[in-house]
Structures are given as C-alpha cells and as structure tokens.
Amino acid sequence: MDKVLGDKIPEFNKKAAGGGNVGLSGASFSLGDHRTKFETLVIILIAVVIIGGTELSLVLFNVPQYVLPKPSLIVSALFTEWKFLWPHILITIYELLTGFAIGASIGFVLAAVITQFPFVEKIVTPYILLLVTTPMLALVPLLILRFGFGSEPRIIAVALASGPMVMINSATGFRRVDLAKIALARSFGASTLQIFTKIRIPMAMPMIIVGLMVGSIFGLLTAIGAEMVGGAEGLGNRLTYYSALIRMPQFFAIILILAFMGISIYVFFFWLGKKWASWET
Amino acid sequence: MKWRGSLRERCLLRAVQICNIISVSAAFFQGNFTVPKTEKTAKRTGPEANHAVKMAIREASKSYQTRSGAVHALDKVSLDVREGEFLCILGPSGCGKTTLLWSMAGLHTLSSGDIRLGNEPITKPHPEIAMIFQDANLLPWRNLAKNIELPFELKRRPPDRARIDKLLERVGLAGFENKFPRELSGGMQQRASIVRSLSVDPSVLLMDEPFGALDAFTRDEMNLLIQEIWMETRKTIAFVTHSISEAIFLADRVAVMSARPGRIAEIYDIDIPRPRAIDIQTEPDFIKQVLDIKSRIEHGRGAKVAIT
C-alpha cells in the first residue's frame, strides 16, 4: 500500500537517521549570530591596524611597488581602472551564475531522484565522488579545444565543479528520512509528491543550502581559474594580464573584487540558511 | 430434450451451490460468523450496553522481514473497538502494539486478516482516523499555527480557523501560534499535536504512546486533559501504552497484548466512574487492579510472579 512505509518496522530515532547534526556553521566558519558592538569594533580595529601598518611599513622600508603595492594605491587603482574592469566583472559573474544554475539544478534533481533508489545511489556515488575530487580546472584546456575561447568552456567547467558539490550535499540531506514525519503526512492522506515537497525538501534544506554555498564558491574558483587558462576576458584573464605587465595595484584591486564576490556569496547563503533552515541549529 | 433439461437443471443447481459457498465464506471473512475469541474477559462487571463496533480487527497478522529472519509482530489479533469507547492497548516493548496501531491507521499492510472501520476495510489512511504519535512529531521548520494547518494543507482545504482557535484555547495554547516547536515544552508540543489531530474532526483517534517521553508530572496533566477531551468529544480512542496505571486510569477497557508473537492476551473492563482524578491511582482498588494485570503479564511471559 505504501512504498515508503510498506514493510518497515515502525521504529525511529529522535534524530533523523543518516545525517546527524548538520548546520551551516558546520560546513564553514560561522558569521556568528550574536556579536556585541565591542566585538564588531575590535574586528574593524584589527583591519585598520593591519591596513595602516602595511601602508606605513611599505613607506618606511621603501618596498618597491612590484613586490607589494601600498593599500592606498590599490584602492585608487580600483577606482581609476573600474571602467575597464567592469565588463570583465560582468563576464565573470555571467559565467558563474550560468554555470552554477546549470550545475546546481542538475545536481539537485539528481540528488532528489537518486536517493529514492538506494541501489542506483550506491552505483552512482563513486562516480560523483570522482567528479567532486577531480579538479575541473584540469579539463579546461580540453574544453577550450572543443568549444573555443568564448564563455562556453568556462561555463561548463563551473557547472562541472559546482554540480557534484550541490548533489553530494543535497543527497546527504535527502537521505535523512524521518519515518515518523512521513507517517504523519501519510496519515493525513498526503500523496507521494506532497511528502516530497512538504517533508523531504524542508528536511533536506539545511544540507541543500550548505551544498549550494560550497558549490558556488567552488564555481567562482573554477571560473577564475578557467579564465586564467585561456581566452581574453573575465577577471581571471585580467589577473594574468596585469601580473604580466607587473601592474601590481591593478592586480591587487582585482583580488579585492574577488574577495568581495566570495564573501557576498557566503553572506547570501548564510542569510538564506537563516531564513529557510534556522530550525536546525 | 429430457437430457438437455436435466443438464440445465444440474448447471443451475451447481451455480446456486457455488453462490451459497461464496456468500457464506464472504460472510465468514467479514467476521460475521466468527466469534471473537478474545472477548473471554476476566471480569465483566460493566453493564452490557449496546456495544456498537467502530473498528473491527479480524485475525490480523503481520510479519516483518529482517536480516535475521521473519519477525511475527502480530499473530491473528482480533479485537473490537467500540463506538465512543476509550480502549487502551497495553503491553511490553516489542509486543506489536505500535504495529497494530499503524495498521489500524492504514499506514501498514497486514500479512493477513483485515481491519474495518464500520464496513470499510482499512488499507490506506482514512480521513475519519487521526493518529497521534510518540514525541508529538511536530515539523520543526513550521511554527505552531503552520503545524496545525498541515492536515488541511495536505487535504487541500482551507483551515477551519474557528475550530482550531477553540481547540488551542481549550488546551491552553492560545497565543503560542508563532512559536516554533523547539521553543515549546514537551507537554505543549504534545498538546499541539493533539490539536492538530482534532482539528480535522476525526471520529477515531489512535494514540501511540503519546506521553511516553514526558516527565511524570506532565504526564498526569496530559492524562487528565485527554480524559476531559474524550468526555467532551466522545471520540473513539485507541491508546497504546506500556504503563499499566496509565492504561487503567484512562480506559474503559484495557486490552493486554503478549509479545512474540503479538497477541491479545486478555481484555479487562475498567468501571471506575468518571471523571477520574489523579489521586485514584493511589487507592487500594486501583493498585490491586494494577498488580492483577501485572501478574498476568508476567505469568504470560513465563516469569515467576514476583511482586514486591
């Protein structure tokens, strides 16, 4: 009568089986929920001391610009070069978003489907692990041979890097089946689709968000790397370009932009986790 | 001609015979002909009122396939749940109480036998039957209001606001609608789950050790509450527990199950007048009844009767 509950002994743990305690803070370091004004002040103070100290010591010891440019120069380069960098930023974001959207959707759907069939899951998992552990950057030269110097090979590389990450984390989430919660929904006449949307997805949500976060950061990494390998556009390409010209302030300005992009991704998913998965802490 | 006629007659006769056999056996399988064997109660002191049967369990058997072989959780269990009664199913751990209840809820298929609600065989969850689980079983990602609306959401119906509000008020949870389960105590969570089940106005409530995880004080409180709710609504309740005193305190009848294989060993009528106060659990008659059931369970398990 019921595929899920059919012949299972009605025993269940308080904690959902398989997953254990997972939280956003488990995957990477937390932004922290409660920070006092004093703590915030200390963080800012440290930044000021580091930046100020660097500036001062660079001037003091007369370090040449090609070794390490002064922070003030980096910031001014960011402003003066902005109009030249802007199109490259857009290209990198475009590659990241497109590749991530493709990879994450495929990864999510695969995770949702595969976890329903334990046999298939056991067969597929080693291959997914292989995809996770192989640096997709290694494929970029091959992809460029096939797809040329446009955005396509890089989008594919981003998808290949982020998809398996999303998949493997989402699968962990979907595996956390709580028989009692499914029985609850079933007892009120829920269909299999309703059990999926109302029980399984919310239950997997914390892990799905972790997967999306890790996947998108891997995606950014791969996008920049792929741009450094070949082509004439994107922030990764600019990095090689400026370092070849030994224009260090511009080089560091790009690193600043990349750091900002990375932290934005993190903050976005942290916020998403707070919104959709805060029930599990 | 005579030959053809006799053949026709013989065919007709055979057809009538077959029909008879079918109807007789159908009646037999529907339980009309079976005498409930388990009704040989030890004490039958209560008035023999007209016991309309709400749910009929007939020869229900269920075995699970495990790695170490088949486990017979239920073995030809026959039991009537009467209209409007409070029935407690009592037994040691692993005797198949929960399996029986899950089968009554239509969450399980039986290996053989059948369970009926009125004349309807229960093979899948039925809107007239609501289940209350161990540990409240609220969804942690939904607040109280959203948890209580779940049944309506699943049935694609607008929630019955008036009824929900009345029930929340009744169990003392009004004003907690925006709280999440982890912000509520165990007792409050279980009260919320009772509201969730009553909100769809079922006629049968199946309760699976609902207060097992609560501390003794909260448990008393919940037992009083469920008694009050039962007296107000007169729902048919089947309540699974492993606490003898809880069973006697709550029930009109206590069905004692024995383990491996799971069977109904005995049915006791409890005729303590209602409303029952928590204090009655310390009265000699009550304790005597507890010890009586306890000794029978232990006797049934083959252990020595040892009551200290």
Q: If pLDDT is split at 50, 70 and 90, which confidence band does A9 have?
A: low
Q: What is the pLDDT of residues B129-155, one digit of tens each?
A: 999 998 899 999 999 999 999 999 999
Residue A154: the pLDDT is 93
Claim to verify: residue A58 and residue A148 sit in the same structural domain: no
Claim to verify: residue A42 and residue A77 sit in the same structural domain: no
Q: With b meaning 16 or more CB within 10 Å and e meaning fewer, what string describes A212-250?
A: bbbbbbbbbbbbbbbbbbbbebbbbbbbebbeeeebbbb
Q: What is the pLDDT of residues A186-197, one digit of tens each?
A: 999 999 999 999
Residue A159 maps to which CATH number?
1.10.3720.10
- Look at residue A12 and tell me whether its pLDDT is greater than 70: no
- Asked if residue A88 belongs to a domain, the reply is yes
Contacts of residue B304, defined as CB under 8 A and 6 or more positions apart, other chains included, come to B298
Integer Cα distance of A95 and B108 in angstroms: 50
Q: If pLDDT is split at 50, 70 and 90, which confidence band does A29 have?
A: very low
What percent of chain A shows pLDDT beyond 70?
Answer: 88
Q: With b meaning 16 or more CB within 10 Å and e meaning fewer, what string describes B76-85?
A: bbbbbbbbbb
Residue A134: the pLDDT is 87
Shortest Cα–Cα distance, A130 to chain B (Å): 32
- Look at residue B177 and tell me whether its pLDDT is greater than 50: yes
**CB < 8 Å to B153, chain A:** 198
CA B248 to chain CA centroid, Å, is 15
- Asked if residue A155 belongs to a domain, the reply is yes
Residue A227, SS3 per DSSP: helix
- Read off the pLDDT of each residue in B179-207 and give the average, rounded to a whole number: 93
Q: Tell me which residues of chain B have a C-beta less than 8 Å from any C-beta of chain A.
A: 64-66, 71, 73, 98-99, 102, 105-109, 123-125, 127, 129-131, 133-135, 137, 139-141, 150-151, 153-155, 180, 182, 200
Claim to verify: residue A91 and residue A151 sit in the same structural domain: yes
Claim to verify: residue A99 and residue A73 sit in the same structural domain: yes
Residue B2: the pLDDT is 44
Claim to verify: residue A180 and residue A141 sit in the same structural domain: yes
Interface test with A, best of B108, B110, B131 (most A CBs within 10 A): B108
The residue of chain A with its CA nearest to that of B65 is A7
- Read off the pLDDT of each residue in A259-263 and give the average, rounded to a whole number: 95
Claim to verify: residue A244 and residue A167 sit in the same structural domain: yes
Q: Which two tokens stand for residue B275?
A: 């409303």
- Asked if residue A245 belongs to a domain, the reply is yes
- Read off the pLDDT of each residue in B48-54 and give the average, rounded to a whole number: 72
B210 within 8 A of B132, measured Cβ to Cβ: yes
A103 within 8 A of A272, measured Cβ to Cβ: no
Helix axes A201-229, A235-244, angle to 10 degrees: 30
Integer Cα distance of A163 and A62 in angstroms: 47
Residue A24: the pLDDT is 46
Cβ of B141 within 8 Å of Cβ of A277? The answer is yes
Strand pairing report for B112-117 and B129-132 = unpaired
Residue B116: the pLDDT is 92
Task: Report the domain count for chain A.
Answer: 2
- Asked if residue A161 belongs to a domain, the reply is yes
A9, A187, A202: residue with CB nearest B105: A187
Residue A224: the pLDDT is 95
Residue A194: the pLDDT is 94
Contacts of residue A32, defined as CB under 8 A and 6 or more positions apart, other chains included, come to none
| Final residue before a domain boundary, out of A63, A86, A109 | A63
Of B208, B213, B183, B215, nearest to B194 by C-alpha is: B208
- Asked if residue A148 belongs to a domain, the reply is yes
- Look at residue B304 and tell me whether its pLDDT is greater than 90: no
- Read off the pLDDT of each residue in A194-205 and give the average, rounded to a whole number: 93
Q: What is the pLDDT of chain B when averaged over all its residues? A: 82
A44 within 8 A of A215, measured Cβ to Cβ: no
Claim to verify: residue A144 and residue A42 sit in the same structural domain: no
Residue B297: the pLDDT is 80
- Read off the pLDDT of each residue in A10-23 and give the average, rounded to a whole number: 46
- Look at residue B4 and tell me whether its pLDDT is greater than 80: no
- Read off the pLDDT of each residue in A67-81 and give the average, rounded to a whole number: 91
Residue A262: the pLDDT is 94
Integer Cα distance of B79 and B113 in angstroms: 12
B239 within 8 A of B207, measured Cβ to Cβ: yes
Q: What is the pLDDT of residues A128-151, one digit of tens each?
A: 888 888 888 888 999 999 998 889
Q: What is the pLDDT of residues A103-124, one digit of tens each?
A: 999 999 999 999 888 888 889 8
Residue A275: the pLDDT is 85
Residue B305: the pLDDT is 43
User: Containing domain of residue A57, as a range?
Assistant: 31-63
Integer Cα distance of B78 and B56 in angstroms: 8
Residue A43: other Cβ atoms inside 10 A: 11
- Look at residue B46 and tell me whether its pLDDT is greater than 70: no
**CB < 8 Å to B154, chain A:** 185, 188-190, 194, 198
Claim to verify: residue A231 and residue A129 sit in the same structural domain: yes
Claim to verify: residue A41 and residue A99 sit in the same structural domain: no
- Look at residue B40 and tell me whether its pLDDT is greater than 80: no
Of A88, A99, A91, nearest to A222 by C-alpha is: A99
Cβ of A187 within 8 Å of Cβ of B135? The answer is no
Q: Worst-scoring range by mean pLDDT, A13-22, A158-167, B86-95, B227-236?
A: A13-22
Q: Which two tokens stand for residue A176?
A: 């956390």
Claim to verify: residue A50 and residue A145 sit in the same structural domain: no
